[in-house]
Structure 1
Amino acid sequence: MTEPFQLGSVPALSRSDVDRAEELRVDTERLRTRWPKARVVVVDVQGRTPVPYDGERTSPSLAVRDAATFGEEPPDGAVFLGSTDDGDYWAILDVDVAEGETLRLPGRFGAVVEAIVSGGEMWVGLREHGDRIDDAGAGLFTTALALRNWHRRARFCAKCGGESRIAQYGWVSRCSSCQREEYPRTDPAVICLVHDDVGVNGEHVLLARGATWPEGARSVLAGFVEAGESLEACARREILEEVGVDVDNVRYLGSQPWPFPRSIMLGFAARASRDQPLRLADGEIAEAHWYSREEIRAAFARGERRGEPEPGALRLPGNSSIARVMLRAWAQASP
């Protein structure tokens, strides 16, 4: 008997084998004592981090730095990321942009992004390169970028407007006037794969192109959870608002952090009749269509070949996105 499809792999940015070691964030003396042997992830002002590069391919590990090169103790602004059997990991955020050769690489939906090559390293973005990094690196880079983006939005107190200071090595924002504390925010967003109601897993999937996306780009539908709203209700509302389709059988698949700037993507699947007319949200959705399983499989096959996408070709979400994991799992399932 055919079973409802499930995610076939862990989403790229959900992978991590680093202990976040929350108890150490308030143990200043212990962290300072361990600092000289710690390792540091550096992130530049464009949100990139270096990975080893031999001129042809990158290493799956991050190019971390020895903490001692930054001083005898953690410098101001250093962020504690966690610990492994090898020791502690920190992040230094918003370092100067590396200087070197600029390479143009395929990014989201095949659009070109720039990476810097310097000193045997390539500075890469999480969105484009997150799936190529090992489990430890994926967790460290994702956490560092999430904290960096939160710090940029936590400069003033929401209660009194006073200037806030980051404490507990990156994990608390404390108001300098009223001493009110805030903690890193994560905004829940639902991302839902809608397939038709033929059989268990359907024969077609509903994909859309956002108004600002390149031609050929398609993905599943997504939106932020509103106050007082359940996740399932959000999935139904967003799909109705964006493409005018009523869905049922909303079920959970998995999740992935998405620090652009501070989301957690909550993956769901749902069913809908293809007989319903598509009504696109003006200014938000440029196109929406039903695609067969064979069309999606062919798009995956094209994407696995190197080179620029052919004009008009169906472009699927990048490898770092949970949307791609969801689509691949559906494409491999039986109807």
Structure 2
Amino acid sequence: MSVSAPALPTSVPCVIVEGMKPLPPVKPMSLARHGIDRDHLSRGQDGDLRELWASGASPVFEHRGSLLVAAGGLFSTEPGMVPGKQTEIYLGRDADGNRYIGVSLDDAGRSELDTALSTSRARDATDLLTAPGEGIDSSEPVWLPLRQLAESLDDVQVSLACEIVGLGNWHRAHQFSPRTGRATHPTLGGWVRTDPDNGSEHFPRTDPAVIVLIINTDDEGIERVLLGNNAAWEADRYSLLAGFVEPGETLERAVIREVYEEAHVEVENPRYLGSQPWPFPCSLMLGFSAEAPSLEFAADEAELATLTWFTRDELRAAIEHGKVRAPGLVSIAGQLLYSWLDNI
């Protein structure tokens, strides 16, 4: 049965409802840090990166969303060790002028590189991560997934990692032209795929999605946040409500529609708070707060197992006693939630 969202005013003011405490600026998010000049003028017109390799560019290796790392962060090699017939993408240069080429490996390419490096650690070696921000506890190269690795990388490395993971996902999923079904090949330094028969070009895509900090303020000024447990998650895992922006839709409209579809809550005054790339596989998460005038809700059982309102004290206690597993700080959901939780 379809659900109609409440009508959206022609003009949507981004203001804070009286009684709701203004949120402090969102802290820099792990995947939103910036340290690379993408240097688009150096990409060239085709997929041949030999001149960039000859200039001393360093490879950044990716395989199905995991990155080759060691103590110090991203692990690089001499260009001569890069396996052949892999997808190569010019990622840009850092402030010192060092250039980087992303190498998205297929299974055969990863096996070849692992053999060349004499590494048997071809796995997601998350046990080698130290505390967030303190680095990687391995002197030998290992493969680690980006979302678990991000807080251990510096600004330059996390910029490179987001680029190569997002572009690697895109290249794997778009090897054939949606117009003709023919195989395409990388051009423009790996940033375009071109049909060699008719010359049509296909570009990387980013899917915008809104994620919403839903707040209710009662008559005594006590705030509550609405968190949901996805039907596919463990019972103690909670997060903010989120959903993709649909064609022909504003971001504010998407906030109101998504919250109503998932929770039957009619929120007001959506306010933009910040954004973060989420290349799993190709999202851009756009963070909002919104005010819920009442505590009434009805969860969409196809998507949500449960919905719960929490005061700050209730949520802190639930997290402390292991009853609620909140989103990690690598995600914008965690950043928005803890920003509210600490805003006393």
Shorter-chain TM-score tier: 0.7 to 0.9
- In the aligned structure 1, how far is the partner of 2:48 from the partner of 2:36? 18
Residues 293-333 of structure 1: CA distance to partner in whole angstroms, max 9, x if unpaired? 12333466x4xxxxxx94xx200112211110101111111
Please report the RMSD computed on the Cα atoms of aligned residues, expressed in angstroms.
2.9
Q: CA deviation at 1:239?
A: 0.4
| Superposition map of 1:74-223 within 5 A | 77-84=87-94, 85-94=96-105, 95-96=109-110, 98=114, 99-100=120-121, 105=126, 120-198=140-218, 203-223=223-243
Correspondent of 1:13 among 15, 23, 31? 31
- Distance 1:86-1:299 versus aligned 2 partners, 3 A rule: farther
Whether 2:286 is the aligned partner of 1:266: answer: yes
Whether 2:83 is the aligned partner of 1:63: answer: no
Is the strand fraction higher in 1 or 2?
A: 1
Conserved 8 A contact 1:11-1:321? yes
Conserved 8 A contact 2:47-2:187? no
Q: CA deviation at 1:52?
A: 2.0
The TM-score, its normalising length taken from structure 2, stands at 0.80
- In the aligned structure 1, how far is the partner of 2:252 from the partner of 2:274? 13
- Distance 1:233-1:176 versus aligned 2 partners, 3 A rule: same
1:241 aligned residue = 261
Residues 32-76 of structure 1: CA distance to partner in whole angstroms, max 9, x if unpaired? 3342411111112x42113224xxxxx4x32222334338xx965
1:316 aligned residue = 326
- In the aligned structure 2, how far is the partner of 1:157 from the partner of 1:9? 40
Q: CA deviation at 1:198?
A: 3.9
Q: CA deviation at 1:282?
A: 2.3
* SS, match of residue 227 in structure 1: coil
- In the aligned structure 2, how far is the partner of 1:100 from the partner of 1:63? 13
- In the aligned structure 2, how far is the partner of 1:186 from the partner of 1:165? 20
Conserved 8 A contact 1:195-1:201? no
- In the aligned structure 1, how far is the partner of 2:343 from the partner of 2:35? 29
2:316 aligned residue = 297
> How many residues matched?
306
AA of the residue aligned to 1:146 = G
* SS, match of residue 235 in structure 1: helix
Conserved 8 A contact 1:4-1:201? no
* SS, match of residue 320 in structure 1: coil
The TM-score, its normalising length taken from structure 1, stands at 0.82
Conserved 8 A contact 1:81-1:90? yes
Unmatched segments (≥5 aa) in structure 1: 54-58, 107-115, 303-308
- Distance 1:189-1:69 versus aligned 2 partners, 3 A rule: same
- In the aligned structure 2, how far is the partner of 1:145 from the partner of 1:200? 47
Between 6-15 and 233-242, the greater mean CA deviation after superposition: 6-15
1:41 aligned residue = 60
Unmatched segments (≥5 aa) in structure 2: 1-18, 115-119, 128-135
